[in-house]
Copies of this chain bind each other. A is one copy, B any other.
Amino acid sequence: MNPAPVVILVAPQLAENIGMTARAMANFGLSDLRLVAPRNGWPKKGVREAASGATHVLDGATVHATLPEAIADLTCLFATTARERGQMKRVALPDAAMAETAGRIAHGERVGVMFGRERVGLTNDEVSLADAIVTFPVAADFPSLNLAQAVLLVGYEWRRAAGLARQPFTGATRAQPATREALLSLFMHLEARLDAAGFYPPEKREAIVRNMRDRLHRMSLTERDVRTFRGALKAIDGGAKHRPAEPV
């Protein structure tokens, strides 16, 4: 497993939050979970269900009596807070914090991110043990994220910063664009049909033809698209053969 930041929950209380934190970590490839003095005991009833399959994260979680014990081996620690703390700490948004984390981890550092109690977050003393603060760019009129959502956003940004955010699939490159020859044949076929139908006002014909060719180019038609369009035109033509040409 490649090195990744450690997630530290300080005095977490609800089984659901811890379980959903484990799941959010698993979603983005984090696995080192440390719990500091969980409220009302550990393990907790219901936490495995809330982890929805991410029980490997729970099984590997370590429990610590104090925060200094939980962070002893780390060389860099971020504290997540929503409010200014009156400390001269560097503050970063999650993307910048995780970009820094990726750099540090690439140099062999051990980096942790601390998350506080569900209702009141981290104490000022706990924040003072951190190198820097991470805060989330939430709307000022609705700033409250729950614990697992905060962990999710940090995990997401970690994955992006570590260059692990790759599209699992792409749709756009599965068929070759049509050759210029095929496109020109389509254009000429279509224009001949529209000429025969008297579609173009003579004084506007050149501009309309040019715009339509431009539009067809912008469709990035594949070979199959061109064949389909030409087949449709031929089918329409086939019908017209049995009717007198429209008067121009």
Closest to A133 in B: B171
A53 at the interface (CB under 8 A from B): yes
Chain A interface residue count, Cβ-Cβ cutoff 8 angstroms: 50
Contacts A149-B152, A167-B91 given: A139-B174 contact, CB under 8 Å?
no
Q: Are B152 and A164 in contact (CB under 8 A)?
A: no
A83 proximity list for chain B (CB < 8 A): 169
A137 at the interface (CB under 8 A from B): yes
Dominant SS among interface residues on chain A: loop
A28 proximity list for chain B (CB < 8 A): 138-139
A141 proximity list for chain B (CB < 8 A): 26
A89–B149 CA distance with the chains assembled, in angstroms: 30
A145–B139 CA distance with the chains assembled, in angstroms: 23
A24 proximity list for chain B (CB < 8 A): 149
Closest to A142 in B: B26
A95 at the interface (CB under 8 A from B): yes
Closest to A139 in B: B29
Total copies of this chain within the assembly = 2
A90–B153 CA distance with the chains assembled, in angstroms: 25
B144, B166, B222: the one contacting A137 at CB < 8 Å is B166
B137, B152, B222: the one contacting A159 at CB < 8 Å is B137
Q: Are A135 and B169 in contact (CB under 8 A)?
A: yes
Q: Are A160 and B137 in contact (CB under 8 A)?
A: yes
A156 at the interface (CB under 8 A from B): yes
A128–B154 CA distance with the chains assembled, in angstroms: 32
* A164-179 to B contact mask, C-beta < 8 Å, 1/0: 1111111110110000
Besides A82-B168, A153-B153, 14 other A-B contacts (C-beta < 8 A): A27-B149, A28-B138, A53-B142, A84-B169, A84-B171, A88-B222, A91-B170, A91-B171, A93-B167, A95-B160, A135-B169, A137-B167, A139-B159, A156-B156
Report which A residues bind B (CB closer than 8 A). 23-24, 26-29, 52-54, 82-85, 87-93, 95, 133, 135, 137-145, 149, 152-153, 156, 159-160, 164-172, 174-175, 222
7 closest residue pairs by CB, A with B: A137-B165, A26-B142, A84-B169, A29-B139, A89-B171, A91-B171, A91-B170
